[in-house]
Amino acid sequence: MSGRRSQTDGEGEITPIVILIVSLVFGGYVVFERPLDIGATYIWVIILSLSTAGLFYVVWGFNKARRESGMNTAVSWLFTELNGEPQSSSADSTIEKTPSTPERLKNELRLDRADGRCEYCDEAMDFLEVHHIKPRSEGGPNTRNNLIVLCPNCHRKADRGVYSRSELKHKVKQQEAPQEV
């Protein structure tokens, strides 16, 4: 469903979280254990410098991602392979672009326009759902013309595309038209 890439594809990929762990393990090992078999001081200095640099890089990158795109992107950045394409754009496509429908409007459509019936199959129902004909993920608005009241059965079919959007639009148009007396 989502465009998110699998975390396991590609072998030996280096992600910030790997740099962080390696930096902490090696840096901590050098600082706290002072291994005897590493005699020369300059090797310690090199390992310590690399660990510190790695640590700073991850902290810096994480904060940058968090400032620019928020905590979720920052966390996913930790698991994004270096030089890989940023994930934020692909993650964005799964985010709803339209806020959820106000309850007031839903109730108005359910009770008033639909009169407690599914606007597709006309079955009377207690549990009617409000469906976006043009989905929220595509920027479909919370307007009466884009919303149709459906029973759960019809809602499933609408979601799966069994009912076409134009078919649903037509039903809404009929509902919105002034009632003949």
Binding site for Zn ion (CB under 5 A): 118, 120-121, 151, 154
Q: Is 147 or 151 the residue whose CB approaches Zn ion more closely?
A: 151
- Which helix (H) or strand (E) segment holds residue 89: the answer is helix 88-92
- Rounded distance, CA 84 to CA 4, Å? 13
- Which helix (H) or strand (E) segment holds residue 26: the answer is helix 16-28
Q: Is 20 or 125 the residue whose CB approaches Zn ion more closely?
A: 125
Q: Is 133 or 151 the residue whose CB approaches Zn ion more closely?
A: 151
Q: How far is the CB of 24 from Zn ion (least distance, A)?
A: 57
Q: How far is the CB of 173 from Zn ion (least distance, A)?
A: 17
Strand partners, 130: 149
Q: How far is the CB of 133 from Zn ion (least distance, A)?
A: 15
- Rounded distance, CA 2 to CA 93, Å? 8
- Rounded distance, CA 34 to CA 39, Å? 9
Going by C-alpha positions, the residue among 124, 138, 95, 126 that lies closest to residue 146 is 138
Is the CB of residue 59 less than 8 Å from the CB of residue 30? no
Q: Is 109 or 118 the residue whose CB approaches Zn ion more closely?
A: 118
Q: Quick one: DSSP state of residue 180?
A: P
Q: How far is the CB of 122 from Zn ion (least distance, A)?
A: 7
- E strands, the chain, where? 129-132, 147-150
Q: How far is the CB of 134 from Zn ion (least distance, A)?
A: 19
Q: Is 58 or 151 the residue whose CB approaches Zn ion more closely?
A: 151
